[in-house]
Structure 1
Amino acid sequence: MPTRRPTMKDVAERAGVAVSTVSYVVNDSGPVAADRRARVLEAVRALGYTPNESARNLKRHSVATVGLVVPDLVNQYFALIAEGVEQAASERDVLVVFCTPEATGGGESWNSRLLRSQRLDGLIYLSGSETRMDALVELTRVGPVVLVDEKLPGFNLPSVVSQNRRGAREIAAHLTSLGHERLAILGGPLELWTAEQRLSGYREAIAAAGLDPDGIPVLAGDYRMSSGEQLAAEILSRPAKDRPTALICANDLMAIGALSYCRRAGLRVPEDVSVVGFDDLPFASLLTPALTTVRQPAREMGIQATKLLLGMVEGADPTPPPPSPVSLKIRESTGPLSER
């Protein structure tokens, strides 16, 4: 497991002094008694603490640089988070270096090496359809790392997340309240925390409705539109008496793929099959039919992640904010079973 860089607070705790005292000694910016100075210097040596120049720059309001690893900017969800990162960084005169492994074709390892060569002060990391652990280990050597909408077992990294599980419960409960019992889940990559949280929430709502969660088919996708279309074709090509009356899609892009298949197959939404998504991308309300989904505050999460990262660069505790609230957006892509 990668270890985080020692902070000024760590030095203060080991030396038994205030953080301000450590700052006075390290920056030679104030008077400190000889015994306290000695304790601070001993703690600095023992912990291997090195003053972070980027933190000094931030305190002087000069420019520092952070990296943002995002799968691509075609997905509006990723783009909205990136907007939040850029907004919060620009308010502090901090530059943002974007790396998009899928867009550049270089892969996460290549981008990790690129970011390490840029002398960045920290990183914000968004996972896509999968997470390369070796690449992430490389990224933690750059400096502080903050995850967005993801948690990774074995990595002691702060995460800015939303209430994925709650949102999944609410949208699945919405479908069961409409009388749908033959459901199918078009899930995300099962190794990702977000996909696991959403699947758990769906199953909890299904069980609460008196249905057997184990009897609901789960087809694993990759959060891309093409996988939503392929999985919808697989499950909806069954005879009418066996196919689901509602599709629970793990994100809006997969839901759009499912809607595309329904149009091709001549299936009416929601009369023949209801479809839901997750994220509430800006165009979700503009689709025909408008998509029922769960709104995540993507831009706000980007802002929170940037503020958390810049605080860590300055030596603050890496304490993430509580999960961002989500909200159910009921639109025309869902309807009661009686409409079929």
Structure 2
Amino acid sequence: MSTVSYVLNDSGPVAPDRRTRVLDAVRVLEYSPNESARNLKRRSASRIGMVVPDLTNQFFAMITEGVHQAASARDVLVVLVVPGSSEQSEEAQTRLLRSQRVDGVIYLTSTGSMPEACYELARSGPVVLVDEQIPGIDLPAVVCDSRRGARQVAQHVLDKGHRDVAIIGGPEGLWTAQQRLAGYREALAGAGIDPDTVPVYYGDYQQSSGRDMAERALAAQTRPTALICANDLMAVGAMEYCREQGLRMPEDVSIVGFDDLPLSSLLTPRLTTVRQPARDMGYRAATVLFDLIENRTPEPMDPLPTTLQDRSSVCTISGSVNE
């Protein structure tokens, strides 16, 4: 047995003729190693789980791609669970994932909470959060500097002279939505605008809610000249509504987003937004998970940087500093 192990793992000296005999036997028997058993002995992963709410969202898909890239480099299988956005479905799908006996889990929540089944997973193996932090939950999390990015894009709108603005925020219970709203408010306060006077319409990060919230925002007595959207999908929905109403963008209504999805640079006008390194987030989350599985202490995790993507969806208001 030790000789076979030396040959298959290239882990010890074996005479050439004996190595040939072992490899011949492997071919004849069509032998395939039990990767789970091998990795358990080595304290390494054979398969990990990932919970992602929606793969039609390009941002989530890019995070998943980063996880897959890191896992493939280690020959690790990714068991993907896509529960949708309801807590009941998330609970059921996470229990299904638990039955697969994965070595660890990367968890991307759409509800701002973790189902009980995920707590059970965390008690039996490592769990790493990505793109969200859950208050009161002591788990490693890989996130971007959403607050800084939101402050930067809101400042960009204000520097263009816009003062009558409205915010289309994300779900109130999500950490990312809270961070972005805080960043917008900081930029407003810095420009001498009372943040409490700026209306906030809470969407759910979906395109349809961006459309609905834009309809509400633009029906206000004082129509905003700019809509600050907490993600690109809601910005797309807002643009859809403006186009249906015959409003020119950015001349009648300027719109910004957050995420920098691949489609954002293809829109008309091209969407000004904040770029998050989604693939890097997924890759780093997987790397942290592998460290935990192998009983290594992960490197300290600062938020990943975001960058403003200045395109053509924001116009300059007469009299601004950038006119």
Residue 63 of structure 1: CA displacement?
Answer: 6.1
> Residues of 2 paired with 1:211 and 1:105: CA distance?
38
The AA in structure 2 aligned to 1:310 is F
The one of 195, 206, 209 equivalent to 1:224 is: 206
Residue 184 of structure 1: CA displacement?
Answer: 0.6
The one of 73, 83, 88 equivalent to 1:101 is: 83
> Residues of 1 paired with 2:263 and 2:148: CA distance?
23
The one of 297, 311, 315 equivalent to 1:331 is: 311
The AA in structure 2 aligned to 1:335 is C
The one of 137, 145, 163 equivalent to 1:163 is: 145
The AA in structure 2 aligned to 1:91 is A
The one of 290, 296, 303 equivalent to 1:316 is: 296
Contact kept, 8 Å, 2:207 with 2:235, in 1: the verdict is yes
Aligned to 2:161: 179
In the alignment, is residue 251 of structure 1 matched against residue 231 of structure 2? Answer: yes
- 1:76-155 paired onto structure 2 within 5 Å: 76-102=58-84, 107-155=89-137
> Residues of 1 paired with 2:60 and 2:136: CA distance?
24
Residue 60 of structure 1: CA displacement?
Answer: 4.9
Contact kept, 8 Å, 2:112 with 2:175, in 1: the verdict is no
What is the aligned residue count? 285
SS at match of 2:135: coil
Which consecutive unaligned segments of at least 5 residues does structure 2 have? Answer: 1-34
* Residues 312 and 184 of structure 1: CA distance in aligned 2, closer, same or farther (over 3 Å): same
In the alignment, is residue 268 of structure 1 matched against residue 239 of structure 2? Answer: no
* Residues 58 and 293 of structure 1: CA distance in aligned 2, closer, same or farther (over 3 Å): farther
Contact kept, 8 Å, 2:112 with 2:132, in 1: the verdict is no
Compare 205-214 and 329-338 and name the one that shifted more: 329-338
SS at match of 1:141: helix
In the alignment, is residue 300 of structure 1 matched against residue 304 of structure 2? Answer: no
* Residues 187 and 103 of structure 1: CA distance in aligned 2, closer, same or farther (over 3 Å): closer
Residue 337 of structure 1: CA displacement?
Answer: 1.8
Residue 113 of structure 1: CA displacement?
Answer: 1.0
Residue 109 of structure 1: CA displacement?
Answer: 1.0
The AA in structure 2 aligned to 1:121 is D
The AA in structure 2 aligned to 1:309 is L
Residue 317 of structure 1: CA displacement?
Answer: 2.1
> Residues of 2 paired with 1:69 and 1:286: CA distance?
29
Q: Deviations over 1:257-304 (max 9, x none)?
A: 000000011111110111000000011000011000000000011000
Contact kept, 8 Å, 2:129 with 2:285, in 1: the verdict is yes
Compare 212-221 and 103-112 and name the one that shifted more: 103-112
* Residues 222 and 296 of structure 1: CA distance in aligned 2, closer, same or farther (over 3 Å): same
Contact kept, 8 Å, 1:120 with 1:142, in 2: the verdict is no
In the alignment, is residue 283 of structure 1 matched against residue 259 of structure 2? Answer: no
> Residues of 1 paired with 2:298 and 2:39: CA distance?
19
Compare 57-66 and 118-127 and name the one that shifted more: 57-66
Q: Deviations over 1:196-243 (max 9, x none)?
A: 10000000000001111010001111100011000000111235xx01
Residue 171 of structure 1: CA displacement?
Answer: 0.2
SS at match of 2:262: coil
> Residues of 2 paired with 1:59 and 1:257: CA distance?
51
> Residues of 1 paired with 2:191 and 2:85: CA distance?
42
Contact kept, 8 Å, 2:44 with 2:294, in 1: the verdict is no
> Residues of 2 paired with 1:180 and 1:55: CA distance?
61
> Residues of 2 paired with 1:104 and 1:222: CA distance?
12
Contact kept, 8 Å, 1:182 with 1:245, in 2: the verdict is yes
Contact kept, 8 Å, 1:56 with 1:314, in 2: the verdict is no
- Divergent runs of 4+, >4 A: 53-56, 58-63, 103-106
Residue 61 of structure 1: CA displacement?
Answer: 9.6
The AA in structure 1 aligned to 2:237 is G
Contact kept, 8 Å, 1:255 with 1:275, in 2: the verdict is yes
Residue 127 of structure 1: CA displacement?
Answer: 1.3
SS at match of 1:127: coil
Residue 135 of structure 1: CA displacement?
Answer: 4.3
Which consecutive unaligned segments of at least 5 residues does structure 1 have? Answer: 1-52
* Residues 329 and 314 of structure 1: CA distance in aligned 2, closer, same or farther (over 3 Å): same
> Residues of 2 paired with 1:324 and 1:55: CA distance?
35
> Residues of 2 paired with 1:337 and 1:70: CA distance?
40
Percent identity, aligned pairs only?
Answer: 59
